[in-house]
Amino acid sequence: MTYFDIEKVKYEGPKSNNPFSFKYYNPEEKFGNKTMSEHLRFSVAYWHTFTADLSDPFGVGAAERDWDNLNDMDKAKARVEAIFEFMEKTGIEYFCFHDIDIAPEGENLKESNENLDEIVSLIKQKMDETGKKLLWNTTNNFTHQRFVHGAATSSNADVFAYAAAKVKKSLEIAKTLGAENFVFWGGREGYESLLNTDMKLELDNLAKFFKLAIAYAKEIGFNGQFLIEPKPKEPTTHQYDTDVATAHAFLQKYDLDKDFKFNIEANHATLAGHSFQHELRYARDNQMLGSVDANQGHPQLGWDTDEFPTDIYDTTLAMYEILKNGGLSSGGLNFDAKPRRTSFKQEDLVLTHIAGMDAFALGLRIAYKMIDDQFFENIVKDKYQSYTTGIGQKIVDDQTSFAELEKYALNLSEITNESDHLEVIKAQINQYILNINNGD
Ligand code: XLS
Ligand code: NI
Ligand code: NI
């Protein structure tokens, strides 16, 4: 059976009008010593692309999928066939999933695990046949009603235990399938209100949960990178892993920072009141940048809309941070993104990924050129040059005191500041974007 009635998507260049072609993503083209596909390491999110039905709080599912009328286990098997065909045709090398995306939950934990075993062995077989790889897997400890008060931060110890059992199973799956990373997104780890919440106990428990997960990964020899995916709100009012800085402080407090890096999602950054670039930069500056959930929010909608990334400005600045980080190592660009509810055809799954891949490919092209020109580096070098000599140098080298600084300040007849011409910088970025667009 064929699910996507198309040829393998090819690079046809910026002048092509074929919607089923790449305009900017040319997988084998080299940038430095890596090809585009090695730089970008794209990944398909099982949940949005193969499990979701495009329902929203106001409407039922609208997606039209070939597997809609199958029973649960047959549907799960059809989706495995479909995602591997999809990866082949789009040339995407990686995928990601939550436990419940790939196999239906049974009546109890034992049955759920049996369903997982059956589908995981099918996935393993497909991976062996095709060479496709698992970027990361994770555990859905938030959808079922048992997680109403959270999972590791639930007020109910039975739920903590149940959540642990599910993560244990997911780690075994990660080991079996050779996952390169393992993700913890907060789910319902947060609170509705502090009026009835013991925040200290909940955070202590969350740290204990992570320690137990690390211990089990060691025990079974799973060596993938652990990642935390920060988000400030939704579903809870306040999510504990609010943003990179907050989650980093948490990891440091509990001595977990050597065991984790971050999976940064663009739409979560903006929900936190930051830019995508801010979160990437904060992680990069602290050697904590692990992987990326590549999507975008909508400026008029205040929730996690998980749109496919199409904003070149954003993808350029994101690729700048990623290149400056020396790449993402075991991480990648996972499309945690869904078609709009109005894009309900099966072919939209392909078209949306092409749009996202081209947007990041364009971002890579532009950012690579900017770094080649030392564009931002020269701006920053100029701006901070007062720290390279005299008193500035002493500050940087920890060679001064308040007494010396006072003496220095008393001798200053006037202070001259320079304009930093931010608007010129933005105009020059526009030039970079347009020049690359013209193929220059
Ligand atoms: C939800 C998150 C989720 C994680 C994986 O907002 O983005 O999809 O990526 O649990
Ligand atoms: Ni995500
Ligand atoms: Ni999200």
Give the tens place of pLDDT for each residue, 27-84.
999 999 999 999 999 999 999 999 999 999 999 999 999 999 999 999 999 999 999 9
Q: Whose CA is nearest to atom 8 of ligand 1?
A: 336
pLDDT over 60 (residue 187): yes
Using a 10 angstrom Cβ sphere, with 0-12 exposed, 13-18 middle and 19 or more buried, the burial of residue 112 is buried
Torsion of CA 347, 348, 353, 356, to 10 degrees: 150
pLDDT over 90 (residue 436): no
Nearest to 201 by CA among 149, 143, 123: 149
The helix/strand/coil state of 42 is strand
pLDDT over 90 (residue 292): yes
Amino acid in position 214? I
C-alpha of residue 151 to centroid of ligand 2, in Å: 18
pLDDT confidence of residue 437: 64
Which member of 39, 48, 99, 101 is catalytic? Answer: 101
| Interatomic CA distance for residues 246 and 230, integer angstroms | 9
268 annotated binding-site participant? yes
Ligand nearest to the CA of 235: 1
Question: Mean pLDDT throughout 176-181?
Answer: 99
Which member of 98, 274, 278, 353 is catalytic? Answer: 98
Q: Whose CA is nearest to atom 3 of ligand 1?
A: 185
The two structure tokens encoding residue 338: 């869904």
336 annotated binding-site participant? yes
- Provide the residues around ligand 3 (an ion) whose CB is within 5 A: 265, 304
**Is residue 188 a contact partner of residue 235, using CB atoms and an 8 Å limit?**
yes
Contacts of 248 by beta carbon, 8 Å cutoff, 6+ apart: 257, 262, 282, 283, 286, 288
Distances in Å between the Cα of 218 and the Cα atoms of 76, 168, 178, 194, 213 are 30, 12, 14, 35, 9
pLDDT over 60 (residue 182): yes
Amino acid in position 346? Q
pLDDT over 70 (residue 438): no
Ligand nearest to the CA of 268: 3
HEC readout, 52-82? CCCCECCECCCCCCCCCCCCHHHHHHHHHHH
Q: What percent of the chain has pLDDT over 90?
A: 98
HEC readout, 253-317? HCCCCCCEEEEEEHHHHHHCCCCHHHHHHHHHHCCCEEEEECCECECCECCCCCECCCCHHHHHH
Count how many residues are written for the chain.
Answer: 440
Q: Closest ligand 1 atom to the C-alpha of 138?
A: 10
Residue entry with tokens 């904060």: 282
pLDDT over 80 (residue 129): yes
Residue 8 DSSP code = P
| Interatomic CA distance for residues 267 and 366, integer angstroms | 22
φ, ψ of residue 334 to 5 degrees: the values are: -95, 125
Q: Is 304 in the pocket of ligand 1 (CB under 6 A)?
A: yes
Angle at 211 between CA 209 and CA 214, to 5 degrees: 110
Using a 10 angstrom Cβ sphere, with 0-12 exposed, 13-18 middle and 19 or more buried, the burial of residue 271 is buried
285 annotated binding-site participant? no
Q: Is 229 in the pocket of ligand 1 (CB under 6 A)?
A: yes
The pick from 137, 185, 296 for probing ligand 1's pocket by mutation, whose C-beta has the most ligand atoms within 8 angstroms, reads 185
pLDDT over 60 (residue 247): yes
**Is residue 330 a contact partner of residue 66, using CB atoms and an 8 Å limit?**
no
The pick from 100, 265, 296 for probing ligand 1's pocket by mutation, whose C-beta has the most ligand atoms within 8 angstroms, reads 265
Q: Closest ligand 1 atom to the C-alpha of 263?
A: 9
107 annotated binding-site participant? no
Residues pairing with 355 in the sheet: none
pLDDT in tens, 357-369: 999 999 999 999 9
- 298: annotated active-site residue: no
Q: Is 138 in the pocket of ligand 1 (CB under 6 A)?
A: yes
C-alpha of residue 341 to centroid of ligand 1, in Å: 18
| Interatomic CA distance for residues 129 and 127, integer angstroms | 5
φ, ψ of residue 15 to 5 degrees: the values are: -90, -10
C-alpha of residue 83 to centroid of ligand 2, in Å: 19
**Is residue 53 a contact partner of residue 63, using CB atoms and an 8 Å limit?**
yes
More confident residue, 1 or 394: 394
pLDDT over 90 (residue 267): yes
**Is residue 115 a contact partner of residue 105, using CB atoms and an 8 Å limit?**
yes
The pick from 226, 304, 336, 338 for probing ligand 1's pocket by mutation, whose C-beta has the most ligand atoms within 8 angstroms, reads 336
pLDDT in tens, 215-238: 999 999 999 999 999 999 999 999
- 101: annotated active-site residue: yes
pLDDT over 80 (residue 382): yes
| Interatomic CA distance for residues 109 and 107, integer angstroms | 7
Q: Is 336 in the pocket of ligand 1 (CB under 6 A)?
A: yes
pLDDT over 50 (residue 440): no
Q: Whose CA is nearest to atom 2 of ligand 1?
A: 185
C-alpha of residue 263 to centroid of ligand 1, in Å: 10
Amino acid in position 377? E
Ligand nearest to the CA of 142: 1
CB atoms inside a 10 Å sphere around CB 220: 13
93 annotated binding-site participant? no
